[in-house]
Amino acid sequence: MKHLISISQLSRADIEHLLEKAKDIKSSPQDYSQSLTNSIIAMLFFEPSTRTRLSHESAALRLGARVLGFADAGTTSTKKGETLEDTIRVINGYADAIIIRHPEYGAAERGAAVSDIPVINAGDGSNEHPTQALLDLFTIQEKFKKLDTVRITFVGDLKYGRTVHSLIKALSHFNVHISCVSPASLRLPDTFKNNRLPYQEYETWDEVADTTDVLYITRVQEERFEDKQEYNQLKDKYILTPKEAEKFSSETIFMHPLPRVVELSPEIDTDPRAWYFKQAHNGVWMRMAILSHILS
Ligand code: NCD
């Protein structure tokens, strides 16, 4: 694997290898502190990010690498009209790998096409977010000690939510049970459907609450809507409050890629089933596994 653009590039064995590696890194991170001491990692963030950028930076630093980059493309030559391809060609002379986030669907692939150094997709528009899918799998496995037979319910914006797209593709290698809960207009697009993993669609979680091991909640992706009125009508359709949480078993975990807006009540944070901050923290270990796998 040179670049990581889509989760579809990975086989079940590749995913299991990365899960194993992330587990080992989490249990003894000091053993990896010199793994990438001669590497420079470039962070090219053309779109807002907190977790994805900083956990990649943390991962690179914990591997002994150094980092450079930008978090606001408004301060770069993109503002003067430079193409993405030219930016990537130039950074090829400054770094050993590129982590890229971009608002356009397919941007990471376009970047990789002109790059001699590895490119890792940190989210391209409403398409994919493969490193998030891997850290999500790691978190599910940490709780259930397996992925096969786990029952996962996706909730919210399944149309534009790129973390859902990559995670569903990744799950197609495992014998999981998937349910999708969304408004009719925000259903999973056909391109991300998988024949190997048939799933049922619902408009409320009530029907699946007692058969859900992982409730994977997402934010309605405001920035992808042309019609803000439509966004306003959909944004608070699903809100996990303590009262709603009572419908789920004590063994269910609540996941969310974050940031949350209204869909996850802060009152849930003290519920032992709330796993979203653990999930965010796991990003560091999985991204260390990915970076060292690609660069060593
Ligand atoms: C997600 C993203 O950027 O796609 N955030 C993240 O990387 N953890 C989800 C979101 O923005 O809703």
66 as an active site residue: the answer is no
70 beta partners: 44
pLDDT of residue 257: 98
Query: Cα separation of 23 and 291, whole Å?
Result: 14
Instruction: Average the pLDDT over 63-80 and give the result.
Output: 96
The chain-wide mean pLDDT, for the chain, equals 97
pLDDT for res 230: 95
Q: Residues 30-56: what's their mean pLDDT? A: 97
Q: How far is CA 56 from CA 39, 184, 197, 203, 222, in A?
A: 14, 35, 31, 35, 24
Residue nearest (by alpha carbon) to ligand 1 atom 1: 257
Mutate to test the pocket of ligand 1, among 50, 104, 132 (most ligand atoms within 8 A of CB): 132
Share of the chain above pLDDT 90, in %: 97
In this prediction, what percent of the chain has a pLDDT beyond 70? 100
User: Which of 46, 52, 55, 160 to mutate for ligand 1's pocket (most ligand atoms within 8 Å of CB)?
Assistant: 52
Q: Is the pTM of this model over 0.95?
A: yes
pLDDT digits (tens, 9 = 90+) for 196-239: 888 999 999 999 999 999 999 999 999 999 999 999 999 999 99
Give the residue-averaged pLDDT of 31-48: 98
- Give the separation between CA 245 and CA 269, rounded to whole angstroms: 11
Out of 51, 177, 235, 237, the active site residue is: 51
Catalytic residue chosen out of the listed positions 62, 129, 173, 235 = 129
Phi, psi of 28 (to 5 degrees): -150, 70
CB-count exposure of residue 185 (10 Å: 0-12, 13-18, 19+): exposed
Q: How far apart are CA 279 and CA 81, in angstroms?
A: 37
pLDDT(95) > 90: yes
Q: Is 17 known to be catalytic?
A: no
Atom of ligand 1 nearest to the CA of 129: 4
* Residue 293 bears catalytic tag: no
Residue 180 pLDDT: 97
Local confidence band at 273 (pLDDT 50, 70, 90 cut-offs): very high
**157-201 tens-digit pLDDT:** 999 999 999 999 999 999 999 999 999 999 999 999 887 888 999
Pocket test for ligand 1, best of 129, 186, 282 (most atoms within 8 A of CB): 129
Pocket (CB within 6 angstroms of ligand 1)? 51-52, 123, 129, 132, 162-163, 219, 221, 257-258
